[in-house]
Structure 1
Amino acid sequence: MKKLVVLLIIVGIMFVVFQNTSKGKMLTHQVKGVVTHVISKPSLINEEGDSIVTRVLLPEGYTRVTYPNGSFEEYLRNYELKPYGSKIINYDESEYFAQNWHDAILEVPVPKNGLQQCADALMRIRSEYLWNNNRKAEIGFNFTSGHYCSWKKYAEGYRPKIRGNKVSFHKTAATNHSKSNFYKYLNLIYTYAGTLSMYHELKKVPVSEIKIGDMLVKPGSPGHIEIIVDEIKNENGEKMYLLAQGNTPAQSVCLLKNFEEPETSPWYKFEAEKPVYTPSYYFDEAKFVRFK
């Protein structure tokens, strides 16, 4: 009881002091989330579920939006999860300081080189989907400079020569289409692409048209990006979504709780031109982009 009272007092103080600043809003929101976590246990979580579709239950009156078998949408919805209660682990195998933000950890390996941060993790998930579905020729991303770097050319031995914002590609390596070389390619992408390049490269999607696979983004250096991994609707056509993220430092990809709406957490609703609070980030506007 004492713990709960202290936390409620902290929330009140943070609200008064910080409510007029963006950082304050985020801090107040995070403390509020801790209190929510202490007070209530999520009711829409099946602890035995080993995939997103089996871990997260539906609010009353909602059904899952259907997508074709083999689609990126179904790939994400059925993504394998670690056992319930698994922690967010940083690339150096240390535990992330915040362990109350998530309801699931996705089975996305975290390289020990520290490169696979928020945007990188999502590019990896997309690239692995294309690889696994024999669509390797579609794998490619723009560097922050705007230069396109494809897996196809990398596999043929082409490597970038970078001088400031000038990039040229030259054949300096042997042809190698192996999976291990594919992950070396992704390390290159992680180094020279990110949230800002994805925002400029990818199609912008209005909130009214978003679907599984679209990404909530705040462009910048640093910015942040999160991906929709499931989608439901009710008979009135109202939709809700699940969000997953990688983060900085490079760490486990996790399914995020919704501290703003604990009754339906981890499901989110979005409105055009309205801010979005997620446990680790404040988006001042709901902006979305879509992979090619």
Structure 2
Amino acid sequence: MKKNILLVVASILIIFLLMRMNPKGKQYTNQIEALISSPKENLINKEGSTIKDRIKSPKGYKRNTIKNNSFEYYLRNYKLKKHGSEIINYDGSKYFAQDWHDAILEVPVPKNGLQQCADALMRIRSEYLWNQNRKDEIGFKFTSGHYCSWKKYALGYRPKIKGNKVSFHKTAKPDYSKTNFYKYLNLIYTYAGTASLHNELKKVKIKDIRIGDMLVKPGFPGHIEIIVDEVSNEKGEKLFLLAQGNTPAQSVCLLRNFEDSDISPWYRFSSNTPIYTPSYYFEKPVFVRFK
């Protein structure tokens, strides 16, 4: 009994923080029930080691077939940490909200404080291309609009940045190593983010979204989350899983759904309808897709 009371008090404190973070001040009153009770249908397989194996399909839904080497397949089969793993900040401390997630992705968090929300997703995309031997496709635009590719960085070109002016100069020896690749990503984390991804990438209508598409609110910092799996029913209705990095730089986690706990962690999206996730309120949802 005492334990339950403490859990309710902790839940109320978390909801208070959520309300303060929410730009519209939405009342997350249904989160208390979501935090102290389980979904009607148990959709978590604690023994599963990948997204596909850990998260079950809700009744009436199933996963569609996707190509083995596709980005969609890569995300659906992404490795997870042991069930019950916590969200850990880059400095080794625990994040204050440990009830937001149902799984932690196996994405290392650098101790330099970089790799925040957009950065974590750019890393996942870049590592996919690296593993597929499509290294020449790795590249992102800075917030200034200047394109910075891994190919040029590996050749030794480095940016000279003065205000909004960027020029590239060959100042280093060619280095195609994995260590240099992560140095490149640190550069990208510094000069790219939600705003640059929003401006650079193709916008996708909600009816056309798929695994790998990202829900973005551009800004400084803004926020971004990525679809890591989907299921559909006989009517063609779809549900999606969302994952995010965050600020401060921390573990990449698969998000719970407080708005519809019966299907959590799955989400359903509708055109022109706000999307509420544990850490962010997307008043006018915009989805973008990597090239």
Give the 5 Å matches for 1:64-213: 64-213=63-212
Partner in structure 1 of residue 281 of structure 2: 282
Gap regions ≥5 residues in structure 1:
none
Q: Using a 3 Å threshold, how does the CA distance of structure 1 residues 171 and 9 change in structure 2: closer, same or farther? A: closer
Corresponding letter in the other structure for 1:33: Q
Residue of structure 2 equivalent to 1:24: 25
Two-structure CA RMSD over aligned residues (Å): 2.2
Contact in 2 for aligned 1:270/1:286 (Cα 8 Å): no
**TM-score between the two structures when normalised by the length of structure 2:** 0.93
Maintained 8 Å contact 1:34/1:100: no
Gaps of 5+ in 2: none
- Give the secondary-structure state (helix, strand or coil) at the position aligned to 1:59: coil
Tell me what 2:35 maps to. Answer: 37
Q: Label 1:277 to 1:167 Cα distance change in 2 as closer, same or farther (>3 A).
A: same
How far off its partner does 1:161 sit?
A: 0.2
For the residues of structure 1 that align with 2:8 and 2:161, how far apart are their CA atoms?
54
What one-letter code is carried by the residue in structure 2 that aligns with 1:40? S
**In 2: Cα distance, 1:98 partner to 1:254 partner:** 12
Output the TM-score relative to the length of structure 1: 0.92
Shift of the 6–258 alpha-carbon distance from structure 1 to 2, 3 Å rule, reads closer
Q: Return the alpha-carbon distance in structure 2 between the equivalents of residues 10 and 180 of structure 1.
A: 44
Distance 1:8 1:204 in 2: 39
Instruction: Give distance in 1, aligned partners of 2:218 and 2:207.
Output: 20
Q: % of aligned pairs identical?
A: 69
Using the alignment, how far apart are the partners of 1:66 and 1:228 within structure 2? 16
Runs of 4+ in 1 over 6 A off after TM superposition: none
Once residues 287 and 160 of structure 2 are traced to their aligned partners in structure 1, the CA distance between those partners, rounded to angstroms, is 32
The 3 A distance-change label for structure 1 pair 6 and 87 is closer
What count of residue pairs does the alignment treat as equivalent? 284
Residue 95 of structure 1, CA deviation: 0.3
Indicate conservation of the 8 Å contact 1:50/1:81, yes or no.
yes
* Distance 1:4-1:274 versus aligned 2 partners, 3 A rule: farther
**1:260–1:174 Cα change, 3 Å:** same
SS at match of 1:24: coil
Provide the C-alpha distance between the structure 2 equivalents of 1:245 and 1:281, rounded to a whole number of angstroms: 11
Distance 1:3 1:150, change over 3 A: same
For residue 3 of structure 1, what is the amino acid of its counterpart? I
User: Structure 1 residue 66: deviation in Å?
Assistant: 1.7
Q: Which residue of 2 aligns with 1:3?
A: 5
CA distance in 2, matches of 1:264, 1:148: 40
Q: Distance in 1 between matches of 2:272 and 2:64?
A: 24
Please tell me whether the aligned partners of residues 119 and 224 of structure 1 are also in contact (alpha carbons under 8 angstroms).
Answer: yes
